[in-house]
A and B are shown apart, each in its own frame.
Chain A
Amino acid sequence: MKIVKYLILTLTFICSAVTIQAESYLSHTMRTTILVSDPEHTLDLISSWADESGGYYLYRSVNRIVIRVQSKDIGKLRSYLEEISEAILDISIETEDLRERLVALRSGIKSREEILQKNLSYLDRTDVKGTLAIEQEIKSLLGEIEGLKGQLRNLEVNRKFATGEVNLNFMEETLPVDITSSFEWINSIDFYRFIEEGF
């Protein structure tokens, strides 16, 4: 009997977790600066990782990349960056609850659509001057509704996809120091000597 009770409790907990996951209204943004040896290669790795995780990249430059990944994968992004970088220099994760903004946008759209319907119904009962005024109002309402719908779509995308902004720092901005080895031939191994004497 006790086992059944625990099973039910566990199942309830799992179901709640699934519901919370499915109904998540959180938007995550991770900003980080990582230390890398080869920025170009690292950028390729990050954009490939985003693709493979069902995401995409928004922006890429020589030392910065912005990617969108499914919200559930934002923790995995951190682990992946730890794996491919020399070190994570700085990291911050912002989480925003979008519920309030979503509700405000939805109600804004709804109220404007209601006004739009009312205005449309007035069209048949007005003269030319009134029709022109109502048309102007309808045009303005349609513009507002489209704008709000755009914002709503953007928030829905933010609910589904987290944003990862990754800045890359190249480690070796200072030249390697010259240390003498006990083995003579090893002292002859020097990148700068090689590249400058080679020509």
Chain B
Amino acid sequence: MRIGTVLLIGVALLLLVSCATISRINIELPEGFAEKRTRPVLVSSSYMAVSPEGMLFEVRSVKNYPPQGLDFWQEALETHLKREGYLPKGKEVRFDTSREEGILFEWTMPYGSRNYTYLTAIIPVKKRILVCEVAGESSIYTEYREEILKSLRSISFR
């Protein structure tokens, strides 16, 4: 009985410690989007939302390895996607969140018989990089663009 209680308390403590150490993404939902949870909220290190038209919005965190800053990752991502044949739609945009600086690229992509816009944004935060992806039909994307940028600027990570 005593051993069982001790074990239970131990497991509970372990869970608490785990939850406290897992970093979480805080973000203001882009207006008009509905949050789509893919993982239990306590251990979530990704965030997903969807617009009524089906436009997807996802933020997740990846390991900043090798540890580098925004300039390095900007060049690495841009070079890679261009090599793959992604076509940039305008110039990259630098933006500020409350604590960090990020950069976003917009790409024009053919999907079915329509043109889609694919946004890729990165925000290096110490040992992690927040990666944001948004994709939707170009005309719909244009309608939500300002809201998406506003949402990106609201991101914090702890």
Contacts and interface: CB of A to CB of B under 8 A. Distances in A.
Decide if A and B are genuine partners. Answer: yes
Interface of A: 37-41, 86, 170-179, 181, 183-186, 188-189, 191-192, 194-195, 198-199
Given A181-B80, A185-B129, A186-B76, A191 B63 contact: no
Interface of B: 48, 50, 54, 56, 58, 62-63, 65, 76-77, 80-81, 83-89, 107-111, 115-116, 118, 120, 129, 131, 133, 135, 138-139
Contacts of B139: 40
A60 to B, nearest CB: 16
A184 B50 CA distance: 26
B115 A179 contact: no
Contact of B87 (A41, A172, A177, A184): A172
A170 B111 CA distance: 12
Contact of A173 (B86, B110, B120, B129): B110
Contact of A185 (B62, B116, B135): B62
Contacts of B110: 170, 172-173, 175
A124 B129 CA distance: 97
A194 B118 contact: yes
Given A174-B85, A178-B84, A194 B115 contact: no
Contact of A183 (B58, B76, B84, B85): B76
A165 B89 CA distance: 24
Contacts of A178: 84
20 contacts: A37-B87, A37-B108, A86-B87, A172-B110, A178-B84, A183-B65, A183-B76, A184-B62, A185-B131, A186-B76, A188-B62, A188-B131, A189-B120, A194-B118, A195-B56, A195-B111, A198-B48, A198-B56, A199-B54, A199-B56
Nearest to A182: B76
A191 B135 contact: yes
Contacts of B50: 198
A170 B139 CA distance: 16
B82 to A, nearest CB: 9
A66 to B, nearest CB: 22
Contacts of B56: 194-195, 198-199
A181 to B, nearest CB: 5
Contacts of B89: 37-38
B77 A191 contact: no
Contacts of A179: 80, 83-84
